[in-house]
Amino acid sequence: MDKLQIRNLSCSAEGNKIIRDLSLDIVKGDCLALLGPNGHGKSTLLNVLMGNPRYQVDSGSVLYDDEDLLKLTPDLRSKKGIFMAFQNPPDVPGVVSMDFFRAALNSHSDKPVSLFNFYKTTTKAYEEVGLDSEMASRYLNEGYSGGEKKRNEILQMLLLKPDLVLLDEIDSGLDVDAMALIASTIKTLKEQGTTFTIVSHYEKLFELVEPNRTAVIVNGRIAKEGDSSLAKKIASQGYSFLEKEFGINLTKENDKQQSIGVCAAKQVEKK
Ligand SMILES: Nc1ncnc2c1ncn2[C@@H]1O[C@H](COP(=O)(O)OP(=O)(O)OP(=O)(O)O)[C@@H](O)[C@H]1O
Ligand SMILES: [Mg+2]
């Protein structure tokens, strides 16, 4: 990928406006630290970029190398090289990890991956993320510890070799060694030209992976952009300086769109 251009994007879920007129560019080689207080729309933005059907795009556009990304189904977005690691990876009972990985790899290539190559690649990836490759025979994420789930997300990133990686709080629940391991994997891919957008609440990961840019989401908008020093300042001072220095209102806006339920309740009230 060369660039991702988000323009005046507004999105909602279940009648709640979450992303509001948000514009952001991500260019090849960027490692963007995406910050923002809890509940202000970071995960929503990543989910919308990946095409999660729970979120509705109300207006705006997203161009991925000049192609309309919003028209593509999630599988096509993945085939175009976009990968997202979930904040809360879901359990998928009944789906064996190995089968899932193989299906994902096959759908990303013209001909099916040979059993030998698949075995070699997955064994190496399991080693790289510090998980026992025996886990490949278990159902996806079922019964995994928090840290194992996060390592398993990174494992999928290694298998699929994406161009644009969206990491949603990949560091939450990781022990110190896992954090160092994952940071070094990110750094290696970064050096190979992979583009990253990393959501995290902790400075530690950013210290290790050294993002070149920071963007802060407040109330579903990009309230502030800067270089890596902005992430450092937030880590040391919290978000309140944005209010003091730049007049950015941190109070959560809540303009729920009127739903049929609300109207009906009001009508009953009037009677
Ligand atoms: N499917 C949904 N239905 C209704 N509301 C939703 C849905 N998904 C997200 N929201 C709401 O949208 C807001 C933004 O949520 P989001 O998960 O994007 O926040 P976040 O910035 O990632 O927060 P955190 O740092 O806590 O992970 C929250 O108030 C959340 O409750
Ligand atoms: Mg989130």
Ligand 1 binding pocket, CB closer than 6 Å: 13-14, 16, 18, 36, 38-44, 54, 87
User: Which CA distances in Å does 6 have to 100, 154, 171, 221, 223?
Assistant: 31, 25, 26, 11, 15
The answer as to whether 142 is a domain residue is no
Strands 139-140 vs 56-64: parallel, antiparallel or unpaired:
unpaired
The answer as to whether 145 is a domain residue is no
On whether the pTM is more than 0.85, the answer is yes
Which protein residue's CA is at the shortest distance from atom 29 of ligand 1? 39
Q: Are 52 and 17 in contact (CB under 8 A)?
A: no
pLDDT per residue as tens digits for the range 67-82: 999 999 999 999 999 9
The answer as to whether 237 is a domain residue is yes
Q: Which residue among 9, 11, 44 is best mutated to probe the pocket of ligand 1, counting the most ligand atoms within 8 A of its Cβ? A: 44
The answer as to whether 13 is a domain residue is yes
CATH code (residue 188): 3.40.50.300
Distance CA 121, CA 10 (A): 40
56, pLDDT greater than 50: yes
Task: Give the structural domain span for 45.
Answer: 3-87+163-270
- How many folded domains does the chain comprise? 1
pLDDT per residue as tens digits for the range 170-197: 999 999 999 999 999 999 999 999 999 9
